[in-house]
Amino acid sequence: MPPASSAPTSPSNAVLLATSLLALAPALPAQEAKAQGPVWALQPTHVILPDGSTAEGQTVLVQGGRILGVGADLELPSGARRWKLDGVLAPGFVDAFSAYGTDAPAQEDSRALTPMLRAYDAVDLDGDDWGKLVEAGITSAHVLPEPNNIQSGWGALVASAGKDRMLVGRTRQVLSMVISRVGDPAFGPSSLAGAIELLQGADTARVPGVADRGVLAHVDDSAAIRAIREAVGKEVDTRWMMWGDAASYGGELRGQYAGMPIPGVGAWTPRGLETLKRLHKAGVKVCFGTWSPNGAAQPGDLRRAAATMSRLTGDPKAAMAAITSNAAAFIGSDQVGAIEKGRRADLVLWSAHPLDPSAQIRAVLIHGEAAHRVTDSE
Amino acid sequence: MALAFLAAVAGFAPTAASQEAADPGYQRTYTIHADACWLPGGRVVEPAFVTIDKGRIAGVSTRAPRERNTPFGVQKPTILRVEGTLAPAIVDAWSGLPMAGRDGGRRPLPQSRLAEDLPVLVAGADPGLAARVQALRNSGVGVVYLGRTDGNLQRGLGVVAGFSVDNLPYDMGGDWLDLSGAGAGGAAQIRAQDLKATFASAVALRDARDDFDEKLEKYEEDLKKYEEDFKKYLEEQKKAEKGGGKARAEDPKQDAKKDDKRPKRPKRPAPPKRNVAGDLILDAIDGKLPVRVQADSGAVVAAALDVAEEHHLKMLLVNAAGGTAHADRMADLGVGVVLDLSRQLAGDDALAQDFLAYSKAGVQVALGSGGRDLGPMMLTLAGELVAHGVDQQDVWAALTSTPAELLGLGGQAGALQGGAIGSMILFGGAHPFDASGVFRSHQPK
């Protein structure tokens, strides 16, 4: 017979351990969940490291919802509880530009410039979407204002479950140079030139918070990229959201973080695939999200897109980064997207590598607390 | 029963047109040295030396090919070293590869052969199509079934296609009669009735032809008798004239009307009207043409099985959603199924449950992309079936060896063995679905 999957074939032990571990979490007093809480030493079969590689024999120390350290030869603090876990411990996926989490689109149609709009105000923390994100291994989502205004407002990073879920209330100022969305034939702008003029007059770099937090620019051609660069200046940290045919302008984003919408069902085109491959080769740091100009992707599509990217580029690490560390950098957060010291303990235990579609989620920890566990019936 | 069906499928006589074997243009001979390869029956060879000769696998071995002494000196084999495990390319039994003539706006005639719409195998013949084929091949697909997607009951004749060195599809498996039972609810009931009525009409057509043949035979006998009788009649007339009897009237017609003794010429029976669509159904009934029925509902599945049983058809059901209640009957009749992998996009376990139900009943299950362009996602979606409880080897077989057998390509695709096409995938993970390792496709040169 061909070699069996690397997925452990008898998950019951792992499930038992994971479930036992998770059962502890809700029992922890709230105060202990802070810095003075118990230390857990998680010892899974494999850990996915920040560079996307997979390592054996690693210990992940967690205390108060944060990662204290990761390593093969860590000295365990006294009192640390050791948990051997059968499976692959991966960082929770980060939905870099999410279609979920709001009860209504975050937008303001009356003006072209709405820099003070906050996507967070539209977030529905009690909505059903969050549960679906958790079940897909997505532990945090970047909620954005609709890119219908040249200055569209502020994005927000929200945890998919747990307490204190608003991780970053203002991530980046969203700019949009996509004329099909910001254009208004009645009130203007009606052309890219008009949009550029408005952008230049808006003095984005002086919008409070932009200098510190940076911008996220929706673009669909080279002219839009140049206009954004000229308007906000080199000092402002800029991320890019790619629309349209990125093959025609993606080369200008070499070495930078850029979001790429997931094509819809059956919408992968040879050119689109080749574009993704070449953007990766050119050094563009791609990340994925569930929002798309053509409608929402499913939460599970995030992992599927990463698997497609892995096969396409032959670079599983980059594919993994596209839904974890690159996504965090795209947002501007050093709290999520990797298993490393100081970050939130947003962790998912998989039965095999998450890029293996036959892998199943065994447990999800968000900020060190149980968000999802696999029951026997599952 | 299943083996008998396989043997029957494998023995389909290709049409005259498809017997003109296309030359896919592969030229080179070389050996790929991989860490391992997956063989038919789930065996693994480590290390693996797969020799490709002009696009086909010449042999699989654990040893490197030797140098050969030729009149021109020692010939060293070309060996390419790769890391990973080799496996056969995917056989997409329900491809969405768009091509000219497939969805041209006008409804296709029932007799239109998709094989005739395939491009000429010349580099640059269809750059757009070649780009799509290249993308498919990069995703690990090596063979596709191409059928029309229009809504007619008789959609024409589909074709099994391989890919040339220039990434153009070529006919490698003969024609299939494509029947559509697409639609659900009331439409499905109508489709089911139409399906049965189509076969009943074809049988009636044959009966009418048989009846005509009998009538024609009788007509020819009657005509012969008439000619003899008329000859005798003329002789009697001549005798009567010589004997001083009444001479023949100047107008023979006038005379014949009055002459009751003159024999009457029999009428030639009218032949049945020409019916090309019916002829194709009759070819299927005669076992000359395999049948694919897209059945989107249990009603159409039941109707398709009725006609398969009544006429002993070589049949493949496509989609067969809602048809698991008929799985045992399908197995008894040797009817295989192509499930729509795009259903897995919903993320639930419905497709996995269907897969398990059909497999448990003994139905041969293949997976296809549902007439969509799933290319790069096929392996991911198939791998998700494993997460939902389907055996990994069963899923892999449903992408390779089973569709090859069901499409009549046994030995030519879906397995690494001598004579099979040289398109392969190379994976570095635990299995072909695993994207955490390196994945590459190999296309012969």
pLDDT in tens, B26-75: 999 999 999 999 987 778 999 999 999 999 999 999 999 888 887 888 88
Residue range B155-173: mean pLDDT, rounded: 93
State how far the Cα of B233 lies from the Cα of B225, in Å rounded to an integer. Answer: 12
Instruction: State the ipTM, two decimals.
Output: 0.85
Closest CA to A303 of A142, A103, A93, A147: A93
More confident residue, B156 or A157: A157
Please report, in angstroms and rounded to a whole number, the separation of the first and last CA atoms in chain A: 27
Q: Please state, as a whole number, how many other Cβ atoms lie within 10 Å of the Cβ of residue B262.
A: 16
pLDDT tens-digit map of B299-317: 999 999 999 999 999 999 9
Strand, helix or coil for residue B27: coil
Distance from CA of A265 to the nearest CA of B (A): 8
Compare CB distances from A5 to B44, B342, B392 and report the shortest one's residue: B392
pLDDT at position A36 is 60
What pLDDT, on a 0 to 100 scale, did the predictor assign at position B375? 77
Is the domain of B69 the same as that of B59? Answer: yes
Position B16 confidence tier, pLDDT thresholds 50, 70, 90: very low
Domain-embedded: residue B254? no
Q: What is the mean pLDDT of residues A153-168?
A: 95
CATH number of the domain to which B17 belongs: 2.30.40.10
Question: Is residue B260 included in any domain, yes or no?
Answer: no
3-state class of A222 per DSSP? helix
A266 contacts on B by Cβ (under 8 Å): 96, 342, 372-374
The pLDDT score that the predictor gives to residue A12 is: 42
Band of residue B327 on the pLDDT scale cut at 50, 70, 90: very high
In a domain, B331, yes or no: yes
How far apart CA B406 and CA B354 sit, in angstroms, is 18
Least confident of A44-48, A92-96, A191-195: A191-195
Is the pLDDT assigned to residue B166 strictly greater than 80?
yes
Q: Is residue B314 part of a domain?
A: yes
Rounded mean pLDDT, B138-146: 94
* Closest residue of chain A to B44, computed from CA coordinates: A2
pLDDT score for B410: 82
SS3 at position B398: helix
Q: Is the pLDDT of residue A17 over 50?
A: no
Q: What is the pLDDT of residue A192?
A: 87
Split into its structural domains, chain B has a count of 3
Q: Is the pLDDT of residue A301 over 80?
A: yes
What is the percent of chain B where pLDDT is above 70? 89
Same domain, B279 and B406: yes
- The backbone torsions φ and ψ at residue B187, rounded to the nearest 5 degrees and listed phi first, read -60, -40
Return the pLDDT at A337: 97
pLDDT score of A6 more than 70: no
Q: Is A7 a residue whose pLDDT tops 70?
A: no
- B contact set with A (CB within 8 A): 38, 42-44, 96, 131-132, 134-135, 138-140, 342, 345, 347, 372-377, 379-384, 386-387, 392-393, 396, 429-431, 433-440
Would the CB atoms of B376 and A353 count as touching at under 8 Å? no
pLDDT of the residue at B21 = 66
| Span between the terminal Cα atoms of chain B, in Å | 40
CB pair distance less than 8 Å for A298 and B430: no
HEC per residue, B340-378? EHHHHHHCCCHHHHHHHHHHHHCCCEEEECCCCCCHHHH
* Residue from A302, A356, A377 to probe the interface with B (highest B Cβ count within 10 Å): A356
**Residue A14 banded pLDDT, cuts 50, 70, 90:** very low
| pLDDT band for position B368 (cuts 50, 70, 90) | very high
Mean pLDDT, rounded, for B250-273: 76
More confident residue, B174 or B414: B414
Report the sign of the C-alpha dihedral through residues B249, B253, B259, B262, in that order: positive
A357 touches chain B (CB under 8 A): yes
Interface probe with A: pick from B83, B129, B380, B401, most Cβ of A within 10 Å: B380
B305 shares its domain with B371: yes
- Chain B residues with beta carbon closer than 8 angstroms to that of A320: 436
Instruction: Say if residue B7's pLDDT is above 90.
Output: no
Same domain flag for B373 and B282: yes
From the list A1, A7, A307, the residue facing B435 with the nearest CB is: A307
Cβ atoms of B370 and B96 closer than 8 Å: yes
Q: How far is CA B162 from CA A310, A368, B137, B142, in A?
A: 26, 52, 10, 6
pLDDT value, residue B102: 52
- Predicted structure pTM score: 0.86
Does the residue B54 lie in any domain?
A: yes
Tokens standing for residue B163: 């890919």
Cross-chain residue pair B139–A311, CB shorter than 8 Å: yes
Give the lowest-confidence range in A290-299, A346-355, B332-341.
Answer: A290-299
Residue A5's pLDDT is 40
Residue B396: closest C-alpha in chain A: A2
pLDDT of B174 above 90: no
**Distance separating alpha carbons of residues A139 and B274, to the nearest angstrom:** 66
Sort out which chain B residues have CB atoms less than 8 A from A1's CB and list them.
Answer: 42-44, 393
CATH for B285: 3.20.20.140
| Domain identity same for B57 and B180 | no
Kindly state the average pLDDT of the residues B323-347.
94
Reading the block at residue A184, the tokens are 């208004």
* Residue A13, pLDDT score: 43
What pLDDT is recorded for position B246? 57
Same-domain check for residues B43 and B108 = no
Summarize pLDDT for B109-140 with one digit per residue, the tens.
Answer: 888 888 888 988 888 888 989 988 998 999 99
Subunit contact A311:B431, Cβ cutoff 8 A: no
| Neighboring chain B residues of A356 at a CB cutoff of 8 Å | 383, 429-431, 433-436
Domains of chain A: 37-92+338-373 (2.30.40.10), 93-331 (3.20.20.140)
Cβ burial of B378 (10 Å; 0-12, 13-18, 19+) is buried
Q: Whole-number mean pLDDT of chain A? A: 87
CB B333 within 8 A of CB B2: no
- B402 and B294 in one domain? yes
- Is residue A318 predicted with pLDDT exceeding 90? yes
What is the mean predicted confidence (pLDDT) over A106-129?
Answer: 89
Average pLDDT, chain B: 87
* Domain shared by B232 and B140, yes or no: no
User: Closest approach of chain A CAs to the CA of B386, in angstroms?
Assistant: 5
CB atoms within 10 A of CB A169: 14
Mean pLDDT of B329-357: 94
pLDDT band with cut points at 50, 70 and 90 for residue B189: confident
Do B47 and B25 share a domain, yes or no?
A: yes
Q: What is the pLDDT of residue B376?
A: 79
- The tokens for A134 are 């958790």
What is the average pLDDT across A220-238? 92
* B88 or A3, greater pLDDT: B88
Say what the pLDDT of residue B438 is: 87
Closest partner residue to B383 (CB to CB) among A312, A319, A358 is A358
Interface of A with B in 297-336 (CB under 8 A): 298, 300, 304, 306-308, 310-312, 314, 316, 319-320
Q: B62 lies in which domain range?
A: 1-88+414-445
Identify the weakest region by mean pLDDT among A107-121, B194-208, B374-388: A107-121
Q: How do residues B89-98 score in pLDDT, each as one tens digit?
A: 999 999 988 7
Q: Examine the pLDDT at B169 and tell me if it is beyond 50.
A: yes
Asked whether the beta carbons of residue A353 and residue B96 sit closer than 8 angstroms, the reply is no
Q: Residue B106 falls within a domain, yes or no?
A: yes
Which pLDDT band holds residue B186 (cuts at 50, 70, 90)?
confident
Same domain, B94 and B119: yes
Q: CA-CA distance, A239 to B235, in Å (whole number)?
A: 109
Residues B13 and B42 in one domain: yes
pLDDT, residue B70, reads 79
| pLDDT band at residue A30 using 50, 70 and 90 as cut-offs | very low
Per-residue pLDDT at B105: 57
Q: How confident is the model at residue B261 (pLDDT cuts 50, 70, 90)?
A: confident
What is the structure's pLDDT at B151? Answer: 63
C-alpha distance from A237 to closest chain B C-alpha (Å): 31
Contact B387 A310 (CB under 8 A): no
Instruction: State whether A2 and B131 contact (CB < 8 Å).
Output: no
Would you list the DSSP string of A119-184?
GGGGB-TTSTHHHHHHHTTEEEEEE---S-SSEEEE-EEEESSSSS-EEES---EEEE--HHHH--
CB-side neighbour CA atoms (13 Å) of B374: 26
> Which chain B residues contact residue A316 at CB under 8 A?
435-438
Contact A273 B138 (CB under 8 A): yes
Closest-CA residue to B113 (of B150, B155, B158): B158
Out of A5, A268, A298, the one facing B373 most closely (by C-beta) is A268
Between B243 and A81, residue with greater pLDDT: A81
Closest residue in A to B437 (Cα) is: A316
Does residue B71 fall inside a structural domain? yes
Cβ distance of B379 and A54 shorter than 8 Å: no
Q: Residue B252 falls within a domain, yes or no? A: no
pLDDT for residue A34: 46
Q: Does A6 touch chain B (CB under 8 A)?
A: yes
Has residue B260 got a pLDDT over 90?
no
Contact yes or no for B380 and A357 at CB 8 A: yes
Query: Are residue B388 and residue B420 in the same domain, yes or no?
Result: no
Query: With pLDDT > 90 as the criterion, what percentage of chain A qualifies?
Result: 65
